Structure 1
């Protein structure tokens, strides 16, 4: 016989609070807009110990490493433009931590990303962000083969 839980487990989304979710969405949309317009605030919104994982397997950076990597984009005033097509937001009962997943329109086509935000009380900081290409399953075999060939040539 099924048993109804009084409260959702901590690892699932708590009952939606529309105002809080709007704050999270505004923060993330603004963060993406900061990159599109190469505003320094983009990096200020990443926690000092925050991690950004890009689409290449070599792209695992701390905030400051990521900032150094991105410097040429900021200097030429042209970086990346990500616009959320869809986003799911979840958060801890005390709203201190937020985790999300999103599908994005990008210059690379549709990408997917997930991340963790920390609510400081004065706003959010990105603690972890991972970007990936959204590869249709029907194309995976071809991509896997191309990647394997590329990596075998690079290893030589």
Structure 2
């Protein structure tokens, strides 16, 4: 019986350590991704995304696959600094080879929220889907809604 208990204890400890290691790897990938943008390292930035990655930006027109996002981003990277995002807090959740996260970011746009999905690939954890949102304090929502009303009315008419 003691051998079984010892084996179960070792198994539980190894599962916990594996999850902790995966979370550290994911955190490092996300930090490296944000740093690559700040340093205008185009190749590193896009190598940390899966081939079928999606990036959804803050503008309602910004829903890009990786190829489209690369085309949009290239001029910013070519200028020597794309954008600067620093994670202030992050929550990571893992199930098998899929992880999802949310983060509060300090950016040139002020506080933003990022969320996304990573996939464990043969190259390690890679970003498969990312959504960036500008945070708006609740007491300012009505002002922002008024500011964007005309744009959104026109945009909605362009949708299929």
TM-score by length of 2: 0.81
Residue 57 of structure 1 aligns to a residue in which SS? coil
What secondary structure sits across from 1:55 in the alignment? coil
For 1:32 and 1:110, how far apart are their aligned partners in 2?
A: 15
Partner in structure 2 of residue 11 of structure 1: none
User: Which residue, 37, 40, 44 being the options, matches 1:41?
Assistant: 44
Instruction: Verify the 8 A CA contact 2:116 2:129 in the aligned structure 1.
Output: yes
Q: What residue is the counterpart of 1:85 in the other structure?
A: 88
Query: How far apart, CA to CA, are the structure 1 residues paired with 2:138 and 2:118?
Result: 30
Where 1:91 maps in the other structure, the secondary structure is strand
In the alignment, structure 1 segments of 5+ residues that lack a partner are 1-13
1:74 shift after superposition? 1.4
Q: Does 1:57 align with 2:53?
A: no
The within-5 A match list for 1:1-156 is 17-39=19-41, 40-92=43-95, 94=96, 96-152=97-153
- In the alignment, the residues of structure 1 paired with residue 45 and residue 26 of structure 2 have an alpha-carbon distance, to the nearest angstrom, of 15
* Moved beyond 6 Å, runs of 4+: none
Specify the SS of the correspondent of 1:20. Answer: helix
Cα RMSD (Å): 1.9
* Deviation per residue, 1:66-104 (Å, 9 max, x gap): 000011111111110100000000011x2x000000000
Determine helix, strand or coil for the equivalent of 1:70: helix
Describe the shift of the 1:112–1:15 C-alpha distance in structure 2 as closer, same or farther (beyond 3 A). farther
Structure 2: runs of 5 or more not aligned? 1-14
What TM-score do the two structures reach when normalised by structure 1?
0.83
Corresponding pairs, count: 140
Deviation string, structure 1 residues 43-68 (Cα, Å, up to 9, x no partner): 11111111000000000000110000
Contact kept? 2:54, 2:65, Cα under 8 Å: yes
